[in-house]
């Protein structure tokens, strides 16, 4: 959130429309609830909120994600793995469980590059981003954050894909 606020100040924006997908949408929910005066409209793609854990599961889950973060940080400091292009397309399709070959190739235009020695493709993402800490806010806290959003809000949800049903309906 701090990076968004600093960027907004640096480029001289008074207000803006926030469009976020997945983790970017979660950050958008947080930013829009904390700084509602900055956001003209908010569009969330594929997420309404991240998972909320039962309080007794919080310590173990936080430990797990912290260890994953350190592991990914270590992996990020090493030479990247080199893949054949077709292998990387296949891994991308399998990992997403929703992309076809065309979609995987489109994503890889931005998410991969040729290895320096030309031997194949390497991923360009920061592995540390794979670890997701934001979900450790309770359902009640998320509902209060949602209530603080005052701008127009559009939530775009996929028809086919992972969908988790909440035991308690959202009413804000």
Interval 101-153: pLDDT, tens: 999 999 999 989 999 998 999 988 776 666 666 556 778 888 898 899 999 99
What is this structure's pTM?
A: 0.65
Has residue 59 got a pLDDT over 50? yes
Using CA atoms, how far apart are residues 28 and 33, in angstroms rounded to an integer? 8
Interval 64-104: pLDDT, tens: 888 988 888 888 888 888 999 999 999 999 988 888 999 99
Angle in degrees, 0-180, between the axes of helices 85-96 and 101-111, rounded to the nearest 10: 110
The DSSP code for 152 is -
Has residue 7 got a pLDDT over 70? yes
Mean pLDDT of 151-161: 83
């Amino acid at each position: 959130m701090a990076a968004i606020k600093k960027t907004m100040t640096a480029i001289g924006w008074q207000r803006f429309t926030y469009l976020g997908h997945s983790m970017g949408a979660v950050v958008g929910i947080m930013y829009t609830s904390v700084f509602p005066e900055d956001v003209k409209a908010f569009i969330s793609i594929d997420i309404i909120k991240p998972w909320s854990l039962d309080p007794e599961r919080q310590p173990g889950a936080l430990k797990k994600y912290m260890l994953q973060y350190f592991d990914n940080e270590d992996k990020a400091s090493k030479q990247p793995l080199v893949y054949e292009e077709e292998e990387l397309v296949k891994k991308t399709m399998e990992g997403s469980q929703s992309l076809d070959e065309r979609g995987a190739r489109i994503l890889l235009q931005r998410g991969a590059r040729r290895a320096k020695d030309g031997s194949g493709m390497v991923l360009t993402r920061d592995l540390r981003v794979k670890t997701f800490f934001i979900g450790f806010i309770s359902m009640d806290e998320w509902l209060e954050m949602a209530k603080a959003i005052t701008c127009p809000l559009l939530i775009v949800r996929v028809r086919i894909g992972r969908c988790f049903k909440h035991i308690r309906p959202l009413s804000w």
